[in-house]
């Protein structure tokens, strides 16, 4: 491999950054090693992995009592995978190494200082030289990709360590780490790629790994279905991305980020072309980042193991859409209508998902809808052109959502151990079976409360800072911005932005409510798990709780990375300055060249409102949710009315089924199968050609009468025919 220096000789060129290609390659090597171990060990006798057709252990997704009879599961805690020791070293090990290298490159980047006004593009090799388009495999190291790389490798390492404890008894242990490493590889390709096609490679790759990991325990139908659902919905979005790439290539002639950035200057501001490109890109983002209308796969994805939910469906993969829009900031800032669409869809998703989260009983489902809701916030951020705010919320969300998921993983682990010890088949994830766990798992409880307060938006935790920044950005752009001057579906832009702000506050309120509700039902009040199980409830092992502590610290102080000027003084807006070479220009374009400036009074008012909303939400939940009134899930009454609708997710899945799935199946069955396949292809072409041949053969056979007379006739007729050809020439 070789590195092609940018013409001016980038300052990073002779630093450790030239080894940056190792950062994705290390997890790839981990994947290969773990994959080999998983295959190799499958040949030797031991506890069977579902991929080898045997039984499986572990928690199930979503279903209360669908627990298989294992047969010989007693003492299964002792049946670790034979290669588990190696895998425990390799899996997290490569991640740790990648993280270390990323830190080194980060420091190199900081050292380059002013020299980092342009990205460092290192071309590895030529991938597809096709005519006028030559695609290279090239990595782009700039401030934005560095932020993403730090998040991916850092939180990835923590989650890998957590998984060592969580998945320790799973017979598919090496396979899990193989897939997890592969995922990190693809995610790094996604954020490090220097062109849209390379990002798309990563995009598809993480979709694949998501499918593999959601359906990790695929011997259960529901898990396999969830994996399929995620992949197929992603593909719908990918169609949008592809169309956008086609449009880009057709009009700009290039697909690399730097090329697009340069060529965007020729695009008409607010024109149909750039709006179309941005809308199609956003369609891809709705698929990957679970926005309306393609969000329904994310709650189902909770069927996978909890570390997967934490890494993929909270911290990294689902944020790919936000990253992509931040990358395409130059394009989006040229299309206010598209931007408003992104922001509107984002806030609607935020509100919609929050309403559903209010009435979910499965702890992971609550967190899933919370993720969808927070992703909506991120899209609001990048939608209104506050790219830094969106990425900032991406970062803080990664911290506290990963913490929440891993914490719930610890809870589920404890519940699962308890149920296994007593051979109880109740649902280990249903909050109605929990309660009062604070007494048994104090560390986990405390850490999760930190995350809950962060997500609710209590200062000075990280979530408050990022969420407030987004809302402030929305408010600031209601005047003196390209968005305010545009119209969205006939509505003036400023009105739309006010509406977004209001709905954002509503979503914040609901966020506080359902998160507090979750904490109350899980950790407080009387314990509903059962007398026999109670002695088995305990804190998770330190390999699992350790990462939680790290995440807790990050959730608490992460906000200091980008404090608003109001509070930060000299330490304010570090992230903003860091990302300025990448998105600064595009951000300013939205606000018509001037940094948005709110008066101090306005800012204090906004902050006060946000905090008040958060406090009101927590108080509402605290007073209205009565843990003592709950009964275990098996005995719980069915919901009615609005509660039932919320619990059933507003029947969105059923609506999709009726509107899209059934008609497609119907068309497929009647038109394509019966009509086209059976009728035309089978009947006309295959059978028809056979009949035709038979017919021709029959005609031919009639000529073979064996009678000389017939042959004489044919002879003479032939002679007459030939002569007539000569006669009439």
Strand partners, 492: 487
Tell which one of 168, 642, 708, 718 touches other proteins (CB under 8 A): 708
Q: Which residue has the tokens 């957590």?
A: 162
Least separation in angstroms between residue 697's CB and other proteins is 10
Least separation in angstroms between residue 694's CB and other proteins is 15
705 touching other proteins, by CB under 8 A: yes
71 touching other proteins, by CB under 8 A: no
1 touching other proteins, by CB under 8 A: no
Tell which one of 612, 679, 712, 718 touches other proteins (CB under 8 A): 712
Q: Cα separation of 121 and 117, whole Å?
A: 12
Q: Cα separation of 290 and 451, whole Å?
A: 22
C-alpha 188 chain-centroid distance:
14
716 touching other proteins, by CB under 8 A: yes
Q: Cα separation of 211 and 224, whole Å?
A: 8
Stretch that binds other proteins, among 197-205, 269-277, 373-381, 718-726 (CB under 8 A): 718-726
661 touching other proteins, by CB under 8 A: no
* Residues 562 to 621 in contact with other proteins, rule: CB under 8 A: none
Stretch that binds other proteins, among 180-188, 436-444, 510-518, 710-718 (CB under 8 A): 710-718
Tell which one of 89, 636, 665, 717 touches other proteins (CB under 8 A): 717
Least separation in angstroms between residue 695's CB and other proteins is 16
Least separation in angstroms between residue 719's CB and other proteins is 8
User: For other proteins, which is the closer residue by CB, 641 or 709?
Assistant: 709
Sign of the torsion formed by the C-alpha atoms of 524, 526, 528 and 531: positive
CA dist 282 to 75, 241, 248, 293, 484, Å?
A: 50, 8, 14, 12, 21
709 touching other proteins, by CB under 8 A: yes
User: For other proteins, which is the closer residue by CB, 685 or 713?
Assistant: 713
DSSP string, 333-388: TT-HHHHHHHHHHHHHHHHHHHHHHTT--BHHHHHHHHHHHHHHHHHHHHHTT-HH
Tell me if 312 sits within 8 A of 210, measured CB to CB.
yes
Q: Considering CB under 8 A, how many residues would be counted as binding other proteins?
A: 17
User: For other proteins, which is the closer residue by CB, 421 or 719?
Assistant: 719
User: For other proteins, which is the closer residue by CB, 605 or 715?
Assistant: 715
707 touching other proteins, by CB under 8 A: yes
Tokens at 698, concatenated: 């029959």
Angle between helical axes of 320-327 and 363-383 (0-180°, round to 10) = 10
C-alpha 555 chain-centroid distance:
20
User: For other proteins, which is the closer residue by CB, 66 or 712?
Assistant: 712
Stretch that binds other proteins, among 51-59, 330-338, 498-506, 709-717 (CB under 8 A): 709-717
Q: What is the largest CA-CA distance in the chain?
A: 115
Q: Cα separation of 200 and 189, whole Å?
A: 9
Least separation in angstroms between residue 707's CB and other proteins is 5
User: For other proteins, which is the closer residue by CB, 489 or 725?
Assistant: 725
Least separation in angstroms between residue 722's CB and other proteins is 10
Q: Is the peptide bond before 590 cis (omega within 30 degrees of 0)?
A: no
Tell which one of 8, 130, 599, 727 touches other proteins (CB under 8 A): 727
Tell which one of 272, 660, 713, 718 touches other proteins (CB under 8 A): 713
724 touching other proteins, by CB under 8 A: yes
Q: Cα separation of 656 and 167, whole Å?
A: 35
Write each residue from 674 to 703 as x if it is in contact with other proteins (CB under 8 A), else as -, in one continuous string. ---------------------------x--
Tell me if 149 sits within 8 A of 99, measured CB to CB.
no
Q: Cα separation of 312 and 206, whole Å?
A: 8
726 touching other proteins, by CB under 8 A: yes
User: For other proteins, which is the closer residue by CB, 526 or 709?
Assistant: 709
Q: Cα separation of 341 and 315, whole Å?
A: 24
623 touching other proteins, by CB under 8 A: no
Stretch that binds other proteins, among 157-165, 343-351, 547-555, 715-723 (CB under 8 A): 715-723
User: For other proteins, which is the closer residue by CB, 131 or 706?
Assistant: 706
Stretch that binds other proteins, among 95-103, 125-133, 337-345, 705-713 (CB under 8 A): 705-713
Least separation in angstroms between residue 693's CB and other proteins is 16
Helix, strand or coil, per DSSP, at residue 194: coil
Least separation in angstroms between residue 689's CB and other proteins is 22
Which residues, 6 or more positions from 451, have their beta carbon under 8 angstroms from its beta carbon?
399, 400, 401, 403, 404, 407, 551, 552, 555
User: For other proteins, which is the closer residue by CB, 44 or 701?
Assistant: 701
User: For other proteins, which is the closer residue by CB, 8 or 727?
Assistant: 727
Query: 432: which DSSP letter?
Result: G
Write each residue from 473 to 492 as x if it is in contact with other proteins (CB under 8 A), else as -, in one continuous string. --------------------
Q: What is the CA radius of gyration of the chain?
A: 30
Burial of 126 (0-12, 13-18, 19+ CB in 10 A): exposed
- Least Cα distance to 583 among 268, 263, 187, 145 occurs for 145
Q: Please, which contacts does 625-631 make with residues 24 or more away whose CB atoms are closer than 8 Å?
A: 625/516, 625/517, 625/520, 625/521, 626/525, 627/435, 627/436, 627/520, 627/521, 627/524, 627/525, 627/526, 628/525, 628/526, 630/431, 630/432, 630/435, 630/521, 630/525, 630/528, 631/432, 631/528
Least separation in angstroms between residue 704's CB and other proteins is 3
Q: At 353, phi and psi to the nearest 5?
A: -65, -35
729 touching other proteins, by CB under 8 A: no
Tell which one of 490, 593, 641, 706 touches other proteins (CB under 8 A): 706
Least separation in angstroms between residue 246's CB and other proteins is 60
Least separation in angstroms between residue 727's CB and other proteins is 5
Kindly list the residues in this chain that would bind other proteins in the complex (CB under 8 A).
701, 704-709, 712-713, 716-717, 719-720, 723-724, 726-727
């Amino acid at each position: 491999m070789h590195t092609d220096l940018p013409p001016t000789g980038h300052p990073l060129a002779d630093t450790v950054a030239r080894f940056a290609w190792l950062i994705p390659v290390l997890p790839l090597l981990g994947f290969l090693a773990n994959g080999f171990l998983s295959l190799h060990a499958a040949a030797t006798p031991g506890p069977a992995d579902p991929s080898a057709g045997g039984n499986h252990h572990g928690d199930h997704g979503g279903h209360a009592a669908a627990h298989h009879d294992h047969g010989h599961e007693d003492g299964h805690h002792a049946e670790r995978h034979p290669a588990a020791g190696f895998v425990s070293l390799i899996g997290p090990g490569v991640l740790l190494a990648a993280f270390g290298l990323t830190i080194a490159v980060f420091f190199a980047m900081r050292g380059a200082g002013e020299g980092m006004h342009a990205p460092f593009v290192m071309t590895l090799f030529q991938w597809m030289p096709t005519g006028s388009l030559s695609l290279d495999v090239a990595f782009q190291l700039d401030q934005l990709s560095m932020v993403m790389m730090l998040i991916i490798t850092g939180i990835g390492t923590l989650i890998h360590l957590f998984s060592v404890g969580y998945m320790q008894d799973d017979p598919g242990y090496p396979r899990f780490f193989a897939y997890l490493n592969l995922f990190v590889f693809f995610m790094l390709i996604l954020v490090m790629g220097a062109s849209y096609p390379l990002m798309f490679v990563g995009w598809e790759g993480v979709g694949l790994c998501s499918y593999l990991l959601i359906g990790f325990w695929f011997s259960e139908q529901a898990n396999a279905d969830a994996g399929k659902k995620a992949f197929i919905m992603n593909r719908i979005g990918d169609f949008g991305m592809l169309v956008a790439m086609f449009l880009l290539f057709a009009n700009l002639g290039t697909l690399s980020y730097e090329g697009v950035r340069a060529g965007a200057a020729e695009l008409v501001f607010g024109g149909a072309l750039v709006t179309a490109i941005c809308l199609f890109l956003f369609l891809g983002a709705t698929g990957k980042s679970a926005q309306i209308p393609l969000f329904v796969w994310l709650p189902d994805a909770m069927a996978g193991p909890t570390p997967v939910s934490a890494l993929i469906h909270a911290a990294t993969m689902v944020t790919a859409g936000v990253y992509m829009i931040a990358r395409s900031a130059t394009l989006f800032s040229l299309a206010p209508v598209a931007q408003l669409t992104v922001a509107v869809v984002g806030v609607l998703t935020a509100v919609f998902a929050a309403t559903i989260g209010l009435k979910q009983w499965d702890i992971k489902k609550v967190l899933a809808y919370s993720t969808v809701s927070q992703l909506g916030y991120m899209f609001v951020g990048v939608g209104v052109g506050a790219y830094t705010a969106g990425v900032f919320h991406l970062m803080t969300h990664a911290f506290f959502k990963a913490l929440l998921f891993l914490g719930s993983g610890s809870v589920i682990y404890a519940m699962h151990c308890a149920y296994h010890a007593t051979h109880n088949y109740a649902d280990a994830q249903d909050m109605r079976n929990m309660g009062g766990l604070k007494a048994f798992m104090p560390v986990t409880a405390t850490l999760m409360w930190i995350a809950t307060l962060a997500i609710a938006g209590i200062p000075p935790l990280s979530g408050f800072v990022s969420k407030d920044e987004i809302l402030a950005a929305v408010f600031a752009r209601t005047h003196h911005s390209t968005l305010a001057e545009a119209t969205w579906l006939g509505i003036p832009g400023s009105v739309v932005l006010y509406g977004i702000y209001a709905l954002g506050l509503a979503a914040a309120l609901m966020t506080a409510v359902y998160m507090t509700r979750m904490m109350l039902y899980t950790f407080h009040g009387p314990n509903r798990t059962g007398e026999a199980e109670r002695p088995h409830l305990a804190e998770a092992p330190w390999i699992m709780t350790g990462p939680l502590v790290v995440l807790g610290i990050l959730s608490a102080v992460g906000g200091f990375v980008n404090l608003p000027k109001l509070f930060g003084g000299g330490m304010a807006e570090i992230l903003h300055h860091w990302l300025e070479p990448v998105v600064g220009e595009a951000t300013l374009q939205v606000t018509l060249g001037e940094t948005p400036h709110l008066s101090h009074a306005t800012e204090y008012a906004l902050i006060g409102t946000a905090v008040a909303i958060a406090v009101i939400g927590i108080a509402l939940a605290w007073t209205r949710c009565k843990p003592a009134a709950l009964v275990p899930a098996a005995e719980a009454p069915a919901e009615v009315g609005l509660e039932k609708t919320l619990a059933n997710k507003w029947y969105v899945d059923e609506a999709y089924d009726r509107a899209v799935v059934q008609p497609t199946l119907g068309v497929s069955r009647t038109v394509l199968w019966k009509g086209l396949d059976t009728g035309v292809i089978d009947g006309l072409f295959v059978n028809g050609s056979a009949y035709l041949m038979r017919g021709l053969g029959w005609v031919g056979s009639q000529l073979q009468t064996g009678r000389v007379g017939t042959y004489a006739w044919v002879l003479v007729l032939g002679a007459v025919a030939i002569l007539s050809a000569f006669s009439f020439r």
